Amino acid sequence: MSKAVLGGVASNLIKCPGFSIRRVRMRSFPIYLDYAATTPCSDKVLEEMLPYFTEHYGNPNSLHAFGFDALKALNVARSEVAALIGADPEEIVFTSGATESSRISIERVSSLTHKKFVTTKSEHKSVLDCADIIKSRGIEVSYLNIKSDGLIDFEHLDSILDTSVGLLSICMVNNETGVIQDIKRIANLCHAKGVLLHTDATQAFGKIPINIRDLDVDFLSASAHKIYGPKGIGILFFKKENKRLLRVPMANHEVEYGLRAGTVPVALCVGMGKAAEIAKSEMSSDFSRITGLRAVLVENLSAALDETYINGSAESHYPGIVNISFRGCEGEALMMECKRIAVSSGSACTSNKLSISHVLNSMSIPADIAQSSIRISIGKPTTKPDILIAIEDLIAATTKLRQMSPIWDMIKAGVDIGSIFEGKHCDYAV
């Protein structure tokens, strides 16, 4: 790759809207391609937040000018977040992040109704952990079947929903594959049978259009740090009529409607509000640009390398998340061999145990393909030169690893290697 191209990478990163030069590391590598994990905080967001650390530092529950200023800022932030998903401000509770939001809705609703909780084995670990917790409390938990493209099996969903089910939780956009579920159709099925619906919208919030009235979900979780906002803040949306299911006995009703305790972090809320405002205005252009970058990435890798697989639905996905397998390579080895890019591995390998991603396992992806997966996630600062460097690195690393791989030799010789990986699947949250 020429110096001219490398210089273009640094230049484009620096000029990206909302990210000034002081916030970009003064070197080209590694190029960050892990935006599904977290994002850098936008300068516009940071600038909006700073006064609420140093000047307008009042407690929004205080009955004086400092408190009134903080409360006004909090109300504006709540309105900005609500506007992004078409909700009313009084339906938005600020939390520490999507994990807490999911836990509040899942654990409290299940504990109050004591009805069966239904989810899938492809959910984020935070939701699966909630399932384990309520199961330990004697509440029944069931798991929906996931098809090979990552979408839920609607026939199974229809058969499993009945009056014994209290709550269903389905991820709107999967964090590993980017698969988008048909939440509106799921909500219609749930409500026809009297079942409440929670969706983890962490990877969808601010990236794809969400109209909460049209989707008709009962609860929604999201985090600010996935949309260039601060870490440590998120939201829980709830329908007004469901607030009673979430209240904490003896809680201070003046703090986030009595749904959680502690002093509200106004500065973080302001940051999330600003991030939501920016996301709403830039969503369409970001989606279009990221779609183009994904196409360059996928088309070039697929053309250059045999036995390359994109995991997840080809029709229903968020383009910024690409889960790709390079058969004959181990995901983490590939990730470490690519020195110029920062991506995530879809599997974890130790000296004596191979663990397959629970998401790919739920999709019944063959183990040798699943263990060769990595996740590449594209964000606002990503440029075409970044993608070209990623392509170059991945082709070189895959070629090198395959040359050293006896598994690849067997694949090329036509040997059925499925038995080698037999029993290696991750069986999380059974």
> Which residues are catalytically annotated?
349
What are the residues whose beta carbons fall under 8 Å from the beta carbon of 386, sequence distance 6 or more? 9, 12, 13, 31, 33
Query: Is 173 in contact with 318 (CB distance < 8 Å)?
Result: yes
What are the residues whose beta carbons fall under 8 Å from the beta carbon of 20, sequence distance 6 or more? 14, 43
User: What is the SS3 assignment for 131-169?
Assistant: HHHHHHCCCCEEEECECCCCCECHHHHHHHCCCCEEEEE
Query: Is 165 in contact with 192 (CB distance < 8 Å)?
Result: no
Q: Could you tell me which residues are beta bridge partners of residue 116?
A: 165
Looking at this protein, which amino acid is placed at residue 414? G
Q: How far apart are CA 114 and CA 135, in angstroms?
A: 11
What are the residues whose beta carbons fall under 8 Å from the beta carbon of 196, sequence distance 6 or more? 109, 166, 167, 168, 190, 218, 219, 242, 245
DSSP per position, 97-115: -HHHHHHHHHHHHHHHH--
Cβ count within 10 A of residue 188? 13
Q: Is 321 helix (H, G, I), strand (E, B) or coil?
A: strand
Q: How far apart are CA 400 and CA 402, in angstroms?
A: 6
**Burial classification of residue 20, based on how many CB atoms lie within 10 Å of its CB (0-12 exposed, 13-18 middle, 19 or more buried):** middle
**Burial classification of residue 59, based on how many CB atoms lie within 10 Å of its CB (0-12 exposed, 13-18 middle, 19 or more buried):** middle
What are the residues whose beta carbons fall under 8 Å from the beta carbon of 65, sequence distance 6 or more? 58
Cβ count within 10 A of residue 399? 13
Token pair belonging to 284: 């369409």
Q: Where are the alpha helices (DSSP H) in 305-341?
A: 331-337
